[in-house]
Structure 1
Amino acid sequence: MEYSITLPASQQPMTIRDLLEKEWLVPRKVRHFLRIRKNVLLNNELAMFHQEVHAGDTLTLRLEETDYTYQEIHLGNKKNIHPLFEDEHIILVNKPAGVKTHPNQPDETETLLNDLAAYLAEKNQRGYVVHRLDKETSGVILFAKNPLVLPILGRLLEQKAIYRRYQAVVWGKLNNDTTIHKKMGRDRHDRRKRVIDERKGKTAITHVEVHAVHQKTSEIYCVLDTGRTHQIRVHLASVGHPIVGDPLYQTKNGPRLLLHAYEMFLVHPFTKEQMHIVATPGLWE
């Protein structure tokens, strides 16, 4: 595997060692192999780790298949993949409702990751899970296309540098914007569910912006400060406004869970481009 990355105009001068370790989060073992195998090129010339890089330089890393582990999965249907953005490092996909993000068992074949594997196989590339969406949730989801970029994306998520905005339709009239700050934990009686647990739960914060109010429902946007499982669904149900069609947290009938990951903002890990990706159509126009 060979990756050539041209450093953006915002790149500060630093050694190759610091770039690999502190900015790109290349694992220590992989950095060791790159150094002893002499598998780092700077502007197409063999480079040493103490050399300095600058904006506009091109750094090439030659990685071996054995440097990173990869769990093989069955190939799904590539026609189910609808890319919103793609380059050699990342791909953002519009996930349909009713599809799991990734398999939980080795023999599963009908998840989004299975379909992505089939889509990328023709390009001799692989997909790596960065985050997930509930099976019932639709919208934009981000995958890494190589193990080099995966830890950087993980850190961006931890630092809340990847901003996601959801659309939801809830039961009842929710007239005012609000922030729901309630701790969450597992439901002891149903392993599929999560509950509000202020004593033992983990911090969960959801910001709600009202878009429109109708006779029986409200259209809202949600932004998360934390990423707990089922967070939006549990928080909204806890304030008396469950999401329409939620099979776990309300009892009324609905066509599907009306929750959609509408847009994502992020800075590209290598190009430093400010990206805004929208998954259309949304729940409303």
Structure 2
Amino acid sequence: MTDRLALDIEVPAHLAGHRLDQAAAELIPDYSRARLQTWIKGGQLTVDGRTARPRDKLFGGEQLRLSAELEARGEWLAQPIDLNIAYEDDSLLVIDKPPGLVVHPAAGNPDGTLLNGLLHHCPQLETVPRAGIVHRLDKDTSGLMVVAKTLPAQTALVAQLKARTVSRQYDAIAQGVVTGGGTVDAPIGRHRQNRLKMAVLELGGKEAITHYRVQERFRAHTLLRCKLETGRTHQIRVHMAHIRHPLVGDPLYGGRVKLPPEASPELVEALQQFPRQALHAAELALQHPKTGGELHWRAPMPADMLRLLGLLRADSEDGGPEAR
């Protein structure tokens, strides 16, 4: 599958003296500078009918012509997978991802992923890098993800993520009683010994900032609302473990399961057997990549977290062993 682009643009006088790739980025903002440079080098973006170099200077008045094909970006299979679509238009998709669904094919998960389902639902995504996926959720994290359906939408959404104007808020059930809200500002990088894990690294880590506030306290757990300022791999999971409040059910960072004293057998089993990290991407807000309008979505908490919260509330209302 291919889509053809054809544009003719005259270089305005105010761009005289600018590099070709700089001018092209201003005149054709729907596409990334890296992609424009590729088109320049490949001869798809010409100056007065001639091939040029990205660094060549312009004088103003030249005619830029873009004639390019957007080709399929991967060898992935389109597969029919049920998608819970919260929103869709010509520019973007918002998916409410269930826990257990892998986002992108990789070793161990060559297919059956969200990406394969997206290609089946929207074949045009073959021409968009990573099938339009601009941010990810861990396999066992549920909730909202935005997907770009076109290259211009992808460019705009990536720019918003980089500028930190996309709002992503998560519900998380943490171990221990968190006394108040706060911010974790601690760089994250690959764990030195266990390459499957991430870790707080003062040297070599990338900036990572998570804001959190208390929504509800229980006898030995807390329901938190976490807001990402950055988007590092496993960020909320690593940051909550760093402040000694790891998420319930987290297989990598959770540590020993915390139980309220003399908790009911049902609650003990629910905490010990919770099948994933108790993390849900509950709210997403961004500017529409085409219209610029503000958009906001909420995704209801999934059944497994709702059931656990019900048991934690019942345990707290019972007042613990002192009230029995």
TM-score (norm 2): 0.68
2:81 paired with 1:74:
no
Q: Deviations over 1:31-88 (max 9, x none)?
A: 87477899xxxxxxxxxx98xxxxxxxxxxx975x3455113112233x211111111
Matching residue of 2:293: 273
Q: What per-residue deviation string (whole Å, max 9, x for no partner) do you get for residues 213-245 of structure 1?
A: 011210011112221111110110111110011
What is the Cα-based RMSD across aligned positions, in Å?
3.2
**1:275 match: secondary structure:** strand
Counterpart amino acid of residue 93 in structure 2: I
Does 2:152 correspond to 1:144?
no
Distance in structure 1 (CA, Å) of the matches to 2:96 and 2:293: 20
1-structure distance, mates of 2:251, 2:100: 12
Kindly state the Cα deviation for residue 19 of structure 1 after the two structures are TM-superposed. 5.8
List aligned pairs for 1:104-183, cutoff 5 A: 104-105=106-107, 108-121=110-123, 124-126=124-126, 127-183=131-187
Give 1 or 2 for the bigger CA radius of gyration: 2
Distance in 2 between residues matched to 1:63 and 1:261, nearest whole Å:
40
SS at match of 1:281: coil
SS at match of 2:96: strand
- AA aligned opposite 1:241: H
Match of 2:36 in 1: 28
Give, as a single letter, the amino acid of the residue that structure 1 aligns with 2:288.
H
Structure 2 counterpart SS, 1:148:
helix
Alpha-carbon spacing, 1:125–1:224, altered in 2? closer, same or farther (3 Å): closer
Separation of aligned partners in 2, 1:98 and 1:35: 47
Equivalent of 1:238 in 242, 257, 279? 242
Taking only the aligned residue pairs, the percentage that are identical comes to 32
Q: 1:216 to 1:92 in 2, by over 3 A?
A: same
Quote the offset at 1:28 in angstroms.
2.2
Distance 1:87 1:63, change over 3 A: farther
Number of residue-to-residue matches in the alignment: 253
| 1:56 alignment partner in structure 2 | none
Q: Report SS of the residue matched to 2:214.
A: strand
> Which stretch of the first structure deviates more once superposed, 264-273 or 247-256?
247-256
Flag the structure with more relative contact order, 1 or 2, with Cα contacts below 8 A and sequence separation at least 6.
1
Q: What amino acid is the match of 2:74?
A: Q
SS in 2 for 1:236: helix
1:167 Cα shift?
0.8
Q: 1:273 to 1:63 in 2, by over 3 A?
A: farther
The answer (yes or no) to whether the contact 2:97–2:142 under 8 Å persists in 1 is yes
